[in-house]
Amino acid sequence: MSFDYEKVPEVGPEALRLHLNENTAGCSPAVLAALRGLTRHDAAFYPDYTDVERATAAYYGRTTRQIALTNGLDEGLHAASVSWLQRGEDGQPLEAIVVEPAFDMYAACADAVGGRVVRVMPRPDLAFPLDAVRAAITPRTRLVFLTSPNNPTGLRLDDEAIAAVAAALPPGALVLLDEAYADFATGDYLACLDATPNLAIGRTFAKAHGLAAVRAGVIIAAEPVVARFRRVLPPYGLNVFAATAVRAALDDGEYLRWYRDEVARSRALIYEACERLGLGYWPSEANFVLVRAGTRLRALVDGLAARGIVVRDRSRQPGCDGCLRITAGVVAHTEACVRAMEEILCDGR
């Protein structure tokens, strides 16, 4: 690889996007090279997934029948809702449990197919409320959305807590474990999958691999669960660019390692800044940090925006009063953000 990873673009006049947890360095140069190699016929023919499915399955240590590629993980979340939340035989809605603060798509997908959303409210420290989740399970529960590391907190769930939720579900219900940020974490649930037949793991290439605009995700589960996803997924959900990009991204472990390291250094810079500035934060296992600014929230979010840095105001999410979420990506970008935060809060400008 001849690309110099350290030579990232300076913060230009255009906005620095630190609000959607995207890869602020872009995708691997190897991905772009693979896309450039596509031919007119590759564009003209329906895509053949044999190679990319084999490579993806091997990457996660599964068989091709234990994975389903999706048009972004969002499509996987939608497919889970379609498949598990269609009305019960008595015509009454089935229930999806959403543990707040949560990614918006869970409730949106459940609602779109006529499911009833049961929200579990957070504890003050935003730690996983296992007892409350178990208490929310009813005979009508069909889907539980769990996220590890969670968005927006960055907190990882214990394997034991995940297994305990799965064990408490009625027959025919599924845990959809969203591991969109597992590439940045100290561990994941993959090794426990075989012991949890009523659980599907969702992964995405949008975040660590920098393919958010390309749209590619994957569902990983036991064969019967994957078969149920495939029944509702369109046969060509992944276009040829996405299939080609995923194939190339899986091969470039060096890029992933480089970016994970940038993210780890960026998180540390944000923690240090928070401590200097007297802001609260949650130690994160993802590529973002949830910061509690309290009464200084507006000054911070608006002040950063005025300096061309976009962060996410999460203060309207349950349990996240006074909080903003900052993407931790390329170190130079984080440094720019931290400098701006100090300017705003120290000088009051």
What residues line the site for ligand PLP (CB under 6 A)?
21, 72-74, 103, 147, 151, 178, 180, 204, 206, 212, 217
**Crossing angle of helices 253-277 and 331-347, rounded to 10°:** 10
Cβ-Cβ contacts under 8 Å for 325 (sequence gap 6 or more): 19, 21, 152, 288, 289, 290, 291, 311, 312, 314
Q: Which tokens go with 180?
A: 């969109």
Provide the minimum distance between the beta carbon of 276 and ligand PLP in the complex, in angstroms, as a whole number: 28
Provide the minimum distance between the beta carbon of 75 and ligand PLP in the complex, in angstroms, as a whole number: 7
Using the minimum distance from each CB to ligand PLP, give the nearer residue, 73 or 133.
73
What single-letter amino acid sits at 138? T
Whole-number Å distance between alpha carbons of 240 and 42: 7
Which sign does the torsion angle of CA 341, 343, 348, 349 carry? negative
Using the minimum distance from each CB to ligand PLP, give the nearer residue, 169 or 206.
206
Using the minimum distance from each CB to ligand PLP, give the nearer residue, 212 or 232.
212
Using the minimum distance from each CB to ligand PLP, give the nearer residue, 136 or 219.
219
Whole-number Å distance between alpha carbons of 174 and 181: 20
Provide the minimum distance between the beta carbon of 178 and ligand PLP in the complex, in angstroms, as a whole number: 5
What single-letter amino acid sits at 256? L
Q: Which residue is nearest to ligand PLP (CB)?
A: 72
Provide the minimum distance between the beta carbon of 312 and ligand PLP in the complex, in angstroms, as a whole number: 11
CA within 13 Å, CB half, 298: 1
Could you give the C-alpha distances from 137 to 96, 107, 123, 127, 300, in angstroms and in order?
9, 16, 18, 19, 39
Using the minimum distance from each CB to ligand PLP, give the nearer residue, 104 or 194.
104
Whole-number Å distance between alpha carbons of 280 and 277: 9
Provide the minimum distance between the beta carbon of 92 and ligand PLP in the complex, in angstroms, as a whole number: 28
Per the CB < 8 A criterion, the answer to whether 175 and 166 are in contact is yes
Whole-number Å distance between alpha carbons of 107 and 93: 14
Provide the minimum distance between the beta carbon of 44 and ligand PLP in the complex, in angstroms, as a whole number: 26
Using the minimum distance from each CB to ligand PLP, give the nearer residue, 22 or 252.
22
Using the minimum distance from each CB to ligand PLP, give the nearer residue, 21 or 83.
21
Q: Please name the residue ranges forming H helices in 90-239.
A: 105-112, 130-136, 159-167, 223-232
Provide the minimum distance between the beta carbon of 7 and ligand PLP in the complex, in angstroms, as a whole number: 27
Tell me the three state secondary structure of residue 292: strand
Whole-number Å distance between alpha carbons of 54 and 65: 10
The residue whose two tokens read 């659980």 is 199
Instruction: Look at residues 62, 48, 33, 59 and name the one whose alpha carbon lies nearest to residue 238.
Output: 48
CA within 13 Å, CB half, 219: 28
Provide the minimum distance between the beta carbon of 74 and ligand PLP in the complex, in angstroms, as a whole number: 3
Provide the minimum distance between the beta carbon of 105 and ligand PLP in the complex, in angstroms, as a whole number: 6
Using the minimum distance from each CB to ligand PLP, give the nearer residue, 214 or 345.
214
Using the minimum distance from each CB to ligand PLP, give the nearer residue, 105 or 345.
105
